[in-house]
Amino acid sequence: MSNLPLEIVEMFGQTIAKVVPITIVLALVFSVLTHFWACNPSAPWWRKRELVTDICYWFFVPLLARVLRIGLLVLGASAILNIRGADELIAFYDNGHGPLSELPLWFQGLLFLVLSDLMLYWLHRMFHGGGFWKYHAIHHSSEELDWISAARFHPVNLFLGTIAVDVILLMAGISPNIMLWVGPFTTFHSAFVHANLNWTLGPFKYVLATPVFHRWHHTALEQGGNTNFAGTFPIWDILFGTFLMPENQLPDGYGKDEQAIPSEIVGQLAYPFRHQRAD
Ligand SMILES: [Zn+2]
Ligand SMILES: [Zn+2]
């Protein structure tokens, strides 16, 4: 365990090396797309007031998610599944386990996307209520919503959101190999739904979450803030009565409910705990 700090530094390096090229591609793609199809008139993403805050989350969140996901999986594999030796752990991490891991990889990937999206829909609704809102309010604090805002999540929100859901499904047996294409898909798609684009995808608006769909979710509560909770598949909002896509109207004005939230990352990370004391 003595070289754990070194391993974390190494993992940090690997994560940065992965994130940088993806970021350059996304930056180029969304700069071009928003030039032609902007949803709201606003400065380009690189002139956002809180750009530094978003860039910090952009690099910090994948690293935190990776460390926690691997840590929890190793812990869960040993405590619940009794998988302990290094070779067994590597085999588990490479291939999954049990009947689910025997299914074709594309089907496991699809199953993962659908099941995780359903769980995340309900977790998202949970975060919009009561004591959980102060953590999720950080995500809603972006006033200049754009693709780079996609990673702005408080660690508590991240932990009781994507990380918990990933670990549950991987512990259930789905092979972590599916992350090879599920990972890039969710990264691209979450940047896409936050991008300043007026795209609804026509009839496919019921199939896949679009920028207009998710930007409604980021508007003030009385406008659309309590609708469109689905991350990827709007079917959950249609089924559970929270779908909102008004015809011939575009969402406008984001993060207005959150004026008390600091604009830099350290203040934002502390915000839910300070808020608790002030109650
Ligand atoms: Zn939300
Ligand atoms: Zn969002």
State phi, psi for 209 to the nearest 5 degrees: -65, 135
Q: What's the CA-to-centroid distance between 90 and ligand 2, angstroms? A: 34
Q: What is the rounded distance in angstroms from the CA atom of residue 128 to the CA atom of residue 257?
A: 13
Q: Encoding tokens for residue 262?
A: 């600091």
Q: What's the CA-to-centroid distance between 250 and ligand 1, angstroms? A: 18
- The pTM is what? 0.92
Which tens digits make up the pLDDT trace of 17-41?
989 999 999 999 999 999 999 999 9
Which tens digits make up the pLDDT trace of 53-74?
999 999 999 999 988 998 999 8
Q: What is the rounded distance in angstroms from the CA atom of residue 274 to the CA atom of residue 254?
A: 23
118 neighbors 236 (Cβ within 8 angstroms): yes
Q: What's the CA-to-centroid distance between 246 and ligand 2, angstroms? A: 19
pLDDT above 70 coverage of the chain, percent: 97
User: What's the average model confidence in pLDDT over 108-135?
Assistant: 96
